[in-house]
Each structure stands twice: as C-alpha cells, then as structure tokens.
C-alpha cells in the first residue's frame, strides 16, 4: 500500500496492486458521509474488434460493450440492483467510447456488503439466452430515446460523417440491428477478454480508513481464482484522412437549425502525458479565441452568427482526434467561414501572457472543485487513470504551461479535413 499526500490540495489517497493484478485507489475524504466506489474496465464502445497478443482476432457487433453492461446486473435471474437497494446503496453503470464503469454510492457507515457485492457481480457473468433476448427491447428503446434528442443526435451524426471505418462512426449502444444480432456467446467472450482483474481498476472514495477498505478488497479477491490474463487490444483500423461525408443535413422536429463544423485531425501519436499536455494547450488557445475572452465574441452574438448554444470540443486520442464547433444558426455557411477565419487567427497569433494566466487560474479552480464530490473523485480518478494522467499531473501540466508550449501544440493541428453537419427543421429542404 502506497500513501500519496497532496498538501497543496489537501487530498490523500492510497494505491495498491493486488496479487491478481487488480489495481486499487482508495481516496480518503474523512469529512464526507458518502462513499462512492467505481469498478472500471478500459473496455468501451470502440472495442468491438479486438486482437489478442497471440494474434487471435475477435469481432463482435457494435454496441456490445454497452449490451454487456446491461447484462452484468443479472445475477441468477435476479437484478443485482435490488440487492444494492436493499442495502440502501444506489448503483449504476455507464459505457463510454473508451471504458465501462460500474459504481455505487451510499451514505451508510457499513460499506463491506455493497463493496463486496460490487466486486462479486462484476466478477461473475451469469446470463441466459432468454434474458439476452429480453434485454434487446430495453436497449432499443434506449437508442430511440437518444436518437430523438437533437443535441445527442447532432454528435452522433458528426461522428458518422467524420469516420469511414473507425468504430467512432457507430453509436455507443450500436444500432437496433447490431443489438438484435448480439448473442449470449458473444457477450460471454467479451466478458472473458475484458473483465479480468489484471485489466481493471477499483476506486473507492469516502470517509473510511483506506487500510480498512483495502482489507475488505483483499479478503474478497484472495478468495477468487481467475484464468490467466490474455492481453487484448483494439484492432488497428485503416482510417482515411478524408471524412465519410463533407456535408450532412438531418431533418428533425427542431425550431432552429443546429450546426456542427467538425475537423478530422490526425491521431495524436505520443505519450499520454504529451497528448494530454497538447490537448490542454490547444484548449487554452481555443478558449482565448472562441469564448467571451475574445472581444469579437460579442460582435458575433450581435450579428446573429452565434448564440449561447455555441460551444467547442477538442479530443485527442492515439487513434482518433477531432475538433468540433456547434452552434444554432440559420446561416451555416457564414458560421463555417467564421470558424475557419478565427481558427486561422488562432494558429498564427500567440496567446497573451495575461490571458493564459487567467485561464490557468480558471482551470485550477475547476479541477479543485472535482474534489467536492466523492462520486466525481472516484469516476474522475478511474477516467484519468485510463487516460494515463492523474488529476495532480494535470494540475502540474497547467501550472507549467507557457505561451511557447501553446503555440507549439497548435502547430500540430491539421485542419484540412472537415465536415459540416446540420440538424434542420423538418420543413426545410435537405437535398443539398
């Protein structure tokens, strides 16, 4: 057990890797009443085509990680949620593109029972053909729910427009067809490949003494046997630089048009530290140009070029990277020109010293606030771990960031390939 004390931030946590390979982080929050536990695997929606270290390849329908997340809650025909509820603990789970996380929170002083239950239900898959079939209707309704929300639909269509082959072009939950084609055997295979303790991470954040929490975890894990770990990874996919579609108009029941201008960037092949560093450096530059920090921002609002829906997102990964701007506008081509022009300015104008310092202060404050909630701490710690940079390393990156580093990161942006996607009101013509 290794104790980490961060005096500047007034935070303490311990880490340990168990004999079976499971990595554990216990965050000590003595003044909190609630405990939050997250059991996570770096297996997400992008991982439906895997290759093992021995060269064996496993291909499954899209959405299978999410399907598996649904089925994990079944235990001998019963829903494990009921057991958590009986303990007064709230349990839930989510699947993202990169990971699947199962978590519970409880304000009860007694955490051994729910923590043991979390470890037990995630470390055993118990499903039948009938229960797999039954789940298909529920998941299909979940897909429909997101499909009819204009905001989530816009993001979904952007990824479909940007990527020709990469699994990012599929919805996290897959499609009704891929869900219908998923079998019990496939779910069991995915489980076997991705839920080994050697691949997983457990994070506990709460008021309990870390040594006591670790004893509960060790006791539980020592009583279990696991097959040897077969290392698997996402099968590399050849992805052309060009987007699948340069323009896409989707009619929906919306009052005003919602548009995304999305740039398909080259994947960020570097160390995790460098990748996260560059992402934050570029974010600072973008914030200086595409927020109220820019004196022109008010002019854009006054001229009706943007409104308060306007936002941007940058995501740099090893196999994909994109930069995305979203807005509500009736003049999508003017909006696209605005983005192109301001991005060009952003690339050639160094960020001001004062502006960068203000942003560093802002992001420091935002990062500190994540320590206000045990659930945010636990989920954030797991996410940061899989992303390869802890929150304290990120705070260090931000602290050390200077104008030269920002300019240098911007030079790696390749903005040649983009797509324009709009959710347009039903009555508008879409045949462009």
Which residues 360-379 are close enough to bind another protein by CB under 8 A?
Answer: 361-366, 368-369, 371-374
Q: How far is the CB of 307 from another protein (least distance, A)?
A: 6
CA distance 11 to 22: 23
Q: How far is the CB of 140 from another protein (least distance, A)?
A: 8
3-state helix, strand, coil in the chain (%, to 5): 45, 20, 35
Token pair for 176: 């009704």
- What count of other Cβ atoms lies within 10 Å of the Cβ of residue 273? 14
- What count of other Cβ atoms lies within 10 Å of the Cβ of residue 59? 11
Interface positions, 149-168, toward another protein (CB under 8 A): 149-150, 153, 156-157
In the bound state with another protein, the residue whose beta carbon lies nearer, of 265 and 288, is 288
Q: Segment near another protein (CB under 8 A), from 95-103, 276-284, 302-310, 392-400? A: 302-310
- The position carrying tokens 């990277």 is 321
Q: Give the three-class secondary structure for 261.
A: strand
By CB under 8 A, how many residues form the interface with another protein? 77
CA distance 232 to 244: 28
Q: Kindly tell me the burial class for residue 210, based on how many C-beta atoms sit within 10 Å of its own C-beta (0-12, 13-18, 19 or more).
A: buried
Q: How far is the CB of 379 from another protein (least distance, A)?
A: 15
Token pair for 219: 């006791």
Q: How far is the CB of 331 from another protein (least distance, A)?
A: 15
Interface positions, 257-286, toward another protein (CB under 8 A): none
412 binds another protein (CB under 8 A): no
What values do phi and psi take at 251, rounded to 5? -80, 135
Q: Is residue 192 within 8 Å of residue 79, measured between CB atoms?
A: no
Token pair for 273: 């530290």
86 binds another protein (CB under 8 A): yes
Strands, E, within 7-96: which ranges? 11-17, 23-28, 35-41, 49-52, 57-59, 74-75, 78-79, 90-95
Q: How far is the CB of 325 from another protein (least distance, A)?
A: 17
Select the residue interacting with another protein from 38, 65, 232, 252 (CB under 8 A): 252
311 binds another protein (CB under 8 A): no
Select the residue interacting with another protein from 18, 52, 113, 147 (CB under 8 A): 147
In the bound state with another protein, the residue whose beta carbon lies nearer, of 230 and 301, is 301
| Distance, first Cα to last Cα, the chain | 61
180 binds another protein (CB under 8 A): no
Compose the 329-358 pattern: x for residues touching another protein by CB under 8 A, - for all others. -----------------------------x
In the bound state with another protein, the residue whose beta carbon lies nearer, of 89 and 162, is 89
CA distance 122 to 217: 13
- Closest to 430 in 3D by CA, of 171, 254, 244, 305: 254
107 binds another protein (CB under 8 A): yes
Q: Segment near another protein (CB under 8 A), from 2-10, 47-55, 218-226, 312-320? A: 2-10
In the bound state with another protein, the residue whose beta carbon lies nearer, of 238 and 253, is 253
Q: Give the three-class secondary structure for 44.
A: coil
Select the residue interacting with another protein from 97, 297, 340, 402 (CB under 8 A): 297
291 binds another protein (CB under 8 A): yes
In the bound state with another protein, the residue whose beta carbon lies nearer, of 65 and 265, is 65
CA distance 325 to 79: 41
Q: How far is the CB of 391 from another protein (least distance, A)?
A: 12
Select the residue interacting with another protein from 113, 293, 347, 407 (CB under 8 A): 293
Q: Is residue 215 within 8 Å of residue 18, measured between CB atoms?
A: no
Compose the 32-61 pattern: x for residues touching another protein by CB under 8 A, - for all others. xxx---------------------------
- Closest to 358 in 3D by CA, of 296, 273, 292: 292
Q: How far is the CB of 48 from another protein (least distance, A)?
A: 15
87 binds another protein (CB under 8 A): yes
**How many residues does this entry show for the chain?**
432
In the bound state with another protein, the residue whose beta carbon lies nearer, of 138 and 269, is 138
89 binds another protein (CB under 8 A): yes
75 binds another protein (CB under 8 A): no
What values do phi and psi take at 349, rounded to 5? -105, 120
Q: How far is the CB of 193 from another protein (least distance, A)?
A: 26
Contact residues for 193 (Cβ-Cβ < 8 A; gap 6+): 50, 52, 58, 230, 232
- Residue 59 β-bridge partners: 49
């Amino acid at each position: 057990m290794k104790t980490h004390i961060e005096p500047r931030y007034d935070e303490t946590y311990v880490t340990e890797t168990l004999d079976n390979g499971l990595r554990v982080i216990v965050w000590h929050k003595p003044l909190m009443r609630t405990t939050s536990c997250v059991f996570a695997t770096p297996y997400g929606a992008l991982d439906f085509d895997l290759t093992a270290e021995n060269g064996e390849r496993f291909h499954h329908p899209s959405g299978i990680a999410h399907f598996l997340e649904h089925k994990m809650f079944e235990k001998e025909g019963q829903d494990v949620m009921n057991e958590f509820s009986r303990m007064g603990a709230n349990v839930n789970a989510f699947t993202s593109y990169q990971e699947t996380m199962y978590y519970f929170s409880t304000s009860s002083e007694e955490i051994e029972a729910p923590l043991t239950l979390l470890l037990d239900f995630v470390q055993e898959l118990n499903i039948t053909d009938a229960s797999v079939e039954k789940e298909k209707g529920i998941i299909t309704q979940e897909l429909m729910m997101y499909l009819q929300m204009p905001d989530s639909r816009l993001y979904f269509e952007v990824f479909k427009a940007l990527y020709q082959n990469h699994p990012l072009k599929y919805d996290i939950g897959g499609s009704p067809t891929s869900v219908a084609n998923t079998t019990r055997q496939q779910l069991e295979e995915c489980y076997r490949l991705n839920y080994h303790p050697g691949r997983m991470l457990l994070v506990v954040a709460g008021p309990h003494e870390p040594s006591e929490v670790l004893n509960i975890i060790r006791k539980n894990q020592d009583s279990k046997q696991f097959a040897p770990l077969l290392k698997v990874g996402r099968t590399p996919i050849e992805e052309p630089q060009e987007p699948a579609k340069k323009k896409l108009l989707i009619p929906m029941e919306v009052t005003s048009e919602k548009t995304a201008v999305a740039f398909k960037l080259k994947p960020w092949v570097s160390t995790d530290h460098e990748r996260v560093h560059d992402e934050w450096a570029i974010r600072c530059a973008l914030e200086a140009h595409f927020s109220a920090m820019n004196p022109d921002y008010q002019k854009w609002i006054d001229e009706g070029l943007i409104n308060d829906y306007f936002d941007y997102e940058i995501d740099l990964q090893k196999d994909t990277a994109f930069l995305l701007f979203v807005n509500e506008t009736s003049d999508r081509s003017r909006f696209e020109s605005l983005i192109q022009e301001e991005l060009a300015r952003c690339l050639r104008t160094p960020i001001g010293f004062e502006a960068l310092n203000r942003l560093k202060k802002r992001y420091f404050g935002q990062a500190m606030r994540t320590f206000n909630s045990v659930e945010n701490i636990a989920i954030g710690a797991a996410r940061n771990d899989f992303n390869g940079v802890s929150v304290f390393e990120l705070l260090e990156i931000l602290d050390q960031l200077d104008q030269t580093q920002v300019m240098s990161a911007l030079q790696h942006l390749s903005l040649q390939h983009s797509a324009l996607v709009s959710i347009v009101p039903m009555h508008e013509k879409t045949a462009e």
